[in-house]
Amino acid sequence: MLTGTADGRRRTAVRLTVFSVVVSVCFAALGISFWYIQVLHNQMYREMAEANTERRLPLRAPRGILFDRKLRVLVENRDAYVISILREHSGNLDRTMRLLADATGVPESQVRETVARHMSTPRYQPIVVIEDASLAQVSAVLARRLDFELPGVFVQRVPTRRYPSGGLGAHLLGYVSEISEAQMASDRLQSGSMVGQSGIEKAYNKLLMGTDGERRVMVNNVGREITALAELPATEGHRIQLTIDYDLQQAAEDAFRVSGYSGAAVVLDPRNGEILALTSVPSYDPNLFAAGIDPATWKRLSTDQLRPLQNRAIQGRYSPGSTFKVVVATAALEEGIITPDFKVTCLGGATFFNRFFQCNSKGGHGTLDLRHAIERSCNVYFYTIGNMVGIDKIHKWAEILGLSGKTGIDLPNEAESLVPSSAWKKANTGQRWYSGETISVAIGQGQVSVTPLALALTYATVANGGARFTPRLVRAVNDGSGWKTPADVNAGVIPRLKPETVAVLHDALSLVVNGAGTGGGARLIGYEVAGKTGTAQVISLQGAKQAAGRTDVDLRDHGWFAFFAPKDNPEVAGVVFAEHALHGANAAPLVRHIIETYFASKEGRPLPVLAPPPPPAVKAAAAPAAGQDRPH
Amino acid sequence: MFNRRLYRYLDWPLVAAVYALCVIGVLMIYSTTGDATRAATARLFLVQIYAILIGTAAFVICLSVDYRSLADRAHVLYMLALGTLLYVLVFGVARGGGRRWIVLPLFNLQPSEFVKLALALLLARLFASNVQKNPTTANLVIGGLLTGVPLLLIMIQPDLGTALTLVPVLIGIAYVGGMRLRVAGVLLALTIVAAPAVWTYALKDYQKARVVTFLDPWRDPRGKGYQQIQAQITVGAGGLWGQGFRKGTQGQLNFLPVAHNDFIFSVLAEEHGFVGVLSVLGLYLFIVVRSLDTARHAKDRLGTYLVVGVLSSFTFQVLYNISMSAGLAIVKGIPLPLMSYGGSSMIATLAGFGLVLNVRMRRFTN
């Protein structure tokens, strides 16, 4: 009932109607909007709401356990706490990082650096800021989380690698650490994953890693867990039984420890190529890496002049010295260039291509056949037959025996051994091979450089009659359904040496240890050990004079001892390489301990215990003077 | 003053609709804050119930006193309202970047909410008394001044959201009171012309950022765009039937900031879905249409204009808040009348409907 003029009343009524219509249209528009959002696009928004409230926490899978050949644990897992930041829930990331550093006592710069390194990680994936957090750090974080001070920060218990024997077999077993950006790209693995970075851990990473699980939890807006929704358990990685014999590995490392030498030892079963022990000294404790290595320790390890991170057994390349004579002898016999009775007279040196080459015995060895030339390690004999055989045939037989190129061991980053050939020289220097160069090669000097593993393989090949196996470290794999032996890579390998050649070499190498040779230190009563010493020149005589400032020890030659035993039916073969041991004879006691341990373990006798370290093997300084007798 | 017989003319359906929304509001507030683990907000729904009770008292008072005698004292009420605004600016409680409240035992009073009522009364009287001379343009100028003074005072607090709710009072009354469309067009044109200047000189940086964020909330999803995005997710996640009372993850897990306050409708949308949304929209529309009917059948122009004044602000708030809940409007502190948590808003709104019902009840009296 409107008052006023009829016109005015009508106008007001119209305007009120317009008001009604406009408002009704607005309400209708709102209704349609809500229909659009709630009904038509419900799925999209529901997923967004779930993404808000659901957090998927990766459950790190325990890595597979590593055993030795007798199923003794070499590497296992332990639980550790990691503290992570989930940027999606962290709100003010800057503040969170500051408070986290404050609460845990970790330098703020370190926290920031870690987060900055992972900025390309998706926001919904946690960034591990503190690996292996202490209980104090864990409780500090948990207390503040209850106070809502640290949104997006959470603590997880994760399985972490544990190496119960510390540095034992560190180079062989390798270590794990957080995946790098490059690995992420190539292996399609998630940020924060722990992956093998060297050794078996790296070579068999995919088998060992297992499958990560996932825990779905509901969180509130500050990232606090409200309730668990579901859990997909992690699957442990495959368990791997290695070919390594813990006792023998221990023996090899003890031998180095007691002797005080750096170096490497490789022991394998010449019957099938299984590695029984592989060590490189000095070593490191892979436990340091298991939960993230601290920068200071990493710097110390990576800049140490003794290079503890280098696996000398497969990455170090050295002149094989006189151990190489076996290769030259094999080539000469197999190519029919000489017979075992072929004799050479040594007068302390000989001239080839107008240059005088000296023997290791200044007075000369007299007239020798092949057996005794090896026993006495007569250089003149090998200069002579090496010259007769020629570089390419030496190269060919070095390759057949396993001394040239890579052995193919199932470890990453193996270095290639080099036994030169004329084709190699042409390809690498553009020059032809001079016959005079063969003379040096014939006694394992010159451009020959081999890894301890390759030399060990060569002696295993000689020991078994010429079957060149691919060295291998994995005996069996257990994926949860029992142990399975991998396909045998060495199936079908047949011996290539003539029995006469094998017999001569075995005799000769036995004489080195049990006769008048330089390997007496490896002699073991009751077992016929065969072997050969070798000296790797560290520095040339001329170079020695220029090496002012180097310590005496640095200038000493390296010592080799390559071996197998028993002579007639070899079960164990290998090599010990002792840095700056001056000559191979000093490596022989290490070999003796290894072989003694092998047989004691096999026969169930108490394992030998090494005597306290002997006095330093060499008191005199430095490089030998010209003409001095050089034991080989 | 109050005649018992007038109860016969009380618009019970409107009363029922108003109180139905109050009850829904309390339930929604309980849903987002009632959890004992949220100690800081656990008892807010009780405070809201007290506010409804006090509001009911205000409602009864505004219903009982003849609106004409109230309009006669509109200037006094208006001056009183301005006084409280000035008081707040000097002695008010500062919180969250604004100085808007007077501390009371149960809740803090926000005087700006009551200015709307005083303004509606004063403007209704202005437009009703000058009608014979029909100088709507003059009324508009005077009305503009009367609106502008409290608006400025509220903006100084600063509370742009509440300040904006005064404008519809003037526009509503002026429009129904005969403002020529030509004038409306000029005002609109002026607004458009002035917009760049307002943008450049009047708006503060954070206000500009809000506009930019509204247009593209994903520019800063965890910062300025957070509320808008979360509100939209909350609404969208509700679906047709909703996730159930106290079962909406967005609201329950605090992803929606101050859900019990400006975003109460989003919580309703999440928990009760499109069906719940339509029901509540229906209730609001019913209130508006029913009140407009009151305006149409008012005994005099004063009554019509008063209802339109109260209703314009109410409708504007409802539409704005609900649009904001769905991410369709810039996030501003404009509560949803009758449902959002807030004592002052509740009391003022109930008092406003007291006035609306007052007009309807007295349409047959002299």
pLDDT in tens, B331-358: 888 999 999 998 899 999 999 999 999 9
Task: Quote the ipTM score.
Answer: 0.94
Reported confidence tier of residue B98, pLDDT bands at 50, 70, 90: low
pLDDT at position B51 = 93
pLDDT at position B213 = 80
Angle at B69 between CA B63 and CA B74, to 5 degrees: 100
Reported confidence tier of residue A625, pLDDT bands at 50, 70, 90: very low
Whether B253 and A3 lie within 8 Å, measured CB to CB: no
Tell me how far apart the alpha carbons of residues A474 and A607 are, in angstroms, rounded to a whole number: 25
Whether the model clears a pTM of 0.90, i.e. scores above it, the answer is: no
Tell me how far apart the alpha carbons of residues B56 and B354 are, in angstroms, rounded to a whole number: 9
Q: Which residue spans within A425-578 are E strands per DSSP?
A: 474-478, 483-484, 530-536, 558-565, 572-578
State the DSSP string of A472-493.
B-EEEEESSS-EEPPP-TTTT-
pLDDT at position A147 = 65
Reported confidence tier of residue A456, pLDDT bands at 50, 70, 90: very high
Whether A42 and B315 lie within 8 Å, measured CB to CB: no
**Residues of A225-264 as b/e, b for ≥16 C-beta within 10 angstroms?**
eeeeeeeeebbbbbbbbbbbbbbbbbbbbbbbebbebbbb
Percent of chain B residues topping a pLDDT of 90: 52
User: Parallel, antiparallel, or unpaired: how do β-strands B108-109 and B98-103 relate?
Assistant: antiparallel
Reported confidence tier of residue A622, pLDDT bands at 50, 70, 90: very low
Residue with more model confidence, A118 or A534 = A534
pLDDT tens sequence across A410-447: 999 999 999 999 999 999 999 999 999 999 999 999 99
Flag whether residue B171 sits within 8 Å of chain A, measured between CB atoms. no
Ranking A264-273, A609-618, B127-136 by mean pLDDT, the lowest is A609-618
Residue A9, min C-alpha distance to chain B (Å): 9
Whether B295 and A46 lie within 8 Å, measured CB to CB: no
pLDDT at position A550 = 63
pLDDT at position A555 = 73
Residues of B within 8 A of A21 (CB-CB) are none
Mean pLDDT, rounded, for B77-103: 81
pLDDT at A623 over 50: no
Residues 124-153 (B) with a CB less than 8 A from some CB of A: 131
pLDDT at position A68 = 96
pLDDT at position A10 = 86
**Contact status, residue A179 vs residue A251, Cβ threshold 8 Å:** no
Reported confidence tier of residue B2, pLDDT bands at 50, 70, 90: low
Whether B235 and A37 lie within 8 Å, measured CB to CB: yes
pLDDT at position B36 = 56
Whether B235 and A41 lie within 8 Å, measured CB to CB: no
Flag whether residue B303 sits within 8 Å of chain A, measured between CB atoms. no
Q: Which residue spans within A331-463 are E strands per DSSP?
A: 344-346, 349-352, 355-358, 366-368
Residue A94, min C-alpha distance to chain B (Å): 14
Whether B235 and A46 lie within 8 Å, measured CB to CB: no
pLDDT at position A208 = 94
Residue B347, min C-alpha distance to chain A (Å): 24
Closest A-chain CA to B236: A38
Mean pLDDT, rounded, for A80-87: 88
pLDDT at A630 over 50: no
pLDDT at position B130 = 67
pLDDT tens sequence across A296-334: 899 999 899 889 999 999 999 999 999 999 999 999 999
- Greatest CA separation found in chain A? 147
Closest A-chain CA to B299: A1
Reported confidence tier of residue A539, pLDDT bands at 50, 70, 90: low
pLDDT at position A127 = 87
pLDDT at A386 over 90: yes
Residue A85, min C-alpha distance to chain B (Å): 16
User: Which of the residues A11, A16, A32, A227 would you substitute to probe the B interface, choosing the one with the greatest number of B C-beta atoms within 10 Å?
Assistant: A16
Flag whether residue B284 sits within 8 Å of chain A, measured between CB atoms. yes
Residues of A within 8 A of B278 (CB-CB) are 31, 34
Neighbours of B30 (CB within 10 A): 20
Q: Provide the mean pLDDT of chain A.
A: 88
Give how far the C-alpha of residue B233 lies from the chain's centroid of Cα atoms, to the nearest Å.
25
User: Which of the residues B246, B296, B317 would you substitute to probe the A interface, choosing the one with the greatest number of A C-beta atoms within 10 Å?
Assistant: B296
**Is residue A494 helix, strand or coil?**
coil
pLDDT tens sequence across A595-605: 999 999 999 99
Ranking B46-60, B81-95, B138-152, B166-180 by mean pLDDT, the lowest is B81-95
Q: Is B173 left (phi over 0), alpha (psi -120 to 50) or beta?
A: alpha
Closest A-chain CA to B286: A24
Percent of chain A residues topping a pLDDT of 70: 92
- Strand order through the sheet with B108-109: B93-95, B98-103, B108-109
Whether A218 and B175 lie within 8 Å, measured CB to CB: no
Tell me how far apart the alpha carbons of residues A294 and A288 are, in angstroms, rounded to a whole number: 8
Reported confidence tier of residue A396, pLDDT bands at 50, 70, 90: very high
**Contact status, residue A513 vs residue A529, Cβ threshold 8 Å:** yes
pLDDT at A262 over 80: yes
Whether B301 and A3 lie within 8 Å, measured CB to CB: yes
Give how far the C-alpha of residue A304 lies from the chain's centroid of Cα atoms, to the nearest Å.
18
Dihedral Cα B292, B296, B301, B305, nearest 10 deg = 10
State the DSSP string of B144-160.
HHHHHHHHHHHHHTT-H
Residue A124, min C-alpha distance to chain B (Å): 13
Residues of B within 8 A of A50 (CB-CB) are 249
Tell me how far apart the alpha carbons of residues A76 and A543 are, in angstroms, rounded to a whole number: 48
Pick from A31, A45, A52: CB nearest B255 = A52
For residue A280, what are the β-bridge partners?
A264
Closest A-chain CA to B312: A19
Whether B254 and A219 lie within 8 Å, measured CB to CB: no
Whether B323 and A30 lie within 8 Å, measured CB to CB: yes
Whether B304 and A16 lie within 8 Å, measured CB to CB: yes
Residues 3-62 (A) with a CB less than 8 A from some CB of B: 3-4, 8, 11-13, 15-16, 19-20, 23-24, 26-27, 30-31, 33-35, 37-39, 41-42, 44-46, 48-50, 52-53
Residue A140 identity: A
Residue B293, min C-alpha distance to chain A (Å): 8
Pick from B237, B301, B304: CB nearest A46 = B237
pLDDT tens sequence across B152-210: 999 888 888 888 899 999 999 999 988 888 888 888 888 888 888 888 887 788 778 77
pLDDT tens sequence across B13-33: 999 999 999 999 999 999 988
pLDDT at B290 over 60: yes
What length does chain A have? Answer: 632
Whether B239 and A42 lie within 8 Å, measured CB to CB: yes
Whether A42 and B295 lie within 8 Å, measured CB to CB: no
pLDDT at position A628 = 39
pLDDT tens sequence across B29-47: 999 887 656 666 668 889 8
pLDDT tens sequence across A159-211: 899 999 988 999 999 999 888 777 777 766 776 778 999 999 999 999 999 88
pLDDT tens sequence across B310-334: 999 999 999 999 999 888 888 888 9
Residue B62 φ then ψ, to 5°: -65, -25
Closest B-chain CA to A87: B222
pLDDT at position A613 = 57
pLDDT at position A121 = 73
Look up residue B212 and give its two tokens: 């930019």
Residues of A within 8 A of B300 (CB-CB) are 3
pLDDT at A542 over 60: no
Mean pLDDT, rounded, for A380-392: 96
pLDDT at position B134 = 54
- Interface A–B counts its CB contacts (< 8 A) at 138
Q: Is the dihedral of CA A353, A354, A359, A364 positive or negative?
A: positive
Reported confidence tier of residue A626, pLDDT bands at 50, 70, 90: very low
Closest B-chain CA to A220: B253
For chain A, the distance separating the N- and C-terminal CA atoms, rounded to the nearest angstrom, is 128
Burial of B104 (0-12, 13-18, 19+ CB in 10 A): exposed
Reported confidence tier of residue B132, pLDDT bands at 50, 70, 90: low
pLDDT at position A629 = 40
**Contact status, residue B333 vs residue B262, Cβ threshold 8 Å:** yes
Flag whether residue B237 sits within 8 Å of chain A, measured between CB atoms. yes
Q: Is B94 left (phi over 0), alpha (psi -120 to 50) or beta?
A: beta
Residue B313, min C-alpha distance to chain A (Å): 12
Of A580, A631, A535, which is closest to residue A319 (Cα–Cα)?
A535
Residue A504 φ then ψ, to 5°: -65, -45
Q: Is there a cis peptide before residue A566, judged by omega within 30 degrees of 0? A: yes
pLDDT at A291 over 80: no
Residue B103, min C-alpha distance to chain A (Å): 29
Residue with more model confidence, A543 or A34 = A34
Flag whether residue B287 sits within 8 Å of chain A, measured between CB atoms. no
Tell me how far apart the alpha carbons of residues B71 and B115 are, in angstroms, rounded to a whole number: 14
Residue B136 identity: T
pLDDT at position A518 = 87
Of A447, A328, A446, A436, which is closest to residue A377 (Cα–Cα)?
A328
Ranking A452-461, A548-557, B72-81, B346-355 by mean pLDDT, the lowest is A548-557
Tell me how far apart the alpha carbons of residues A559 and A67 are, in angstroms, rounded to a whole number: 32
Of A124, A163, A121, A137, which is closest to residue A81 (Cα–Cα)?
A137
Reported confidence tier of residue A502, pLDDT bands at 50, 70, 90: very high
Flag whether residue B233 sits within 8 Å of chain A, measured between CB atoms. yes
Whether A226 and B253 lie within 8 Å, measured CB to CB: yes
Reported confidence tier of residue A619, pLDDT bands at 50, 70, 90: very low
Tell me how far apart the alpha carbons of residues B167 and A576 are, in angstroms, rounded to a whole number: 95
For chain B, the distance separating the N- and C-terminal CA atoms, rounded to the nearest angstrom, is 13
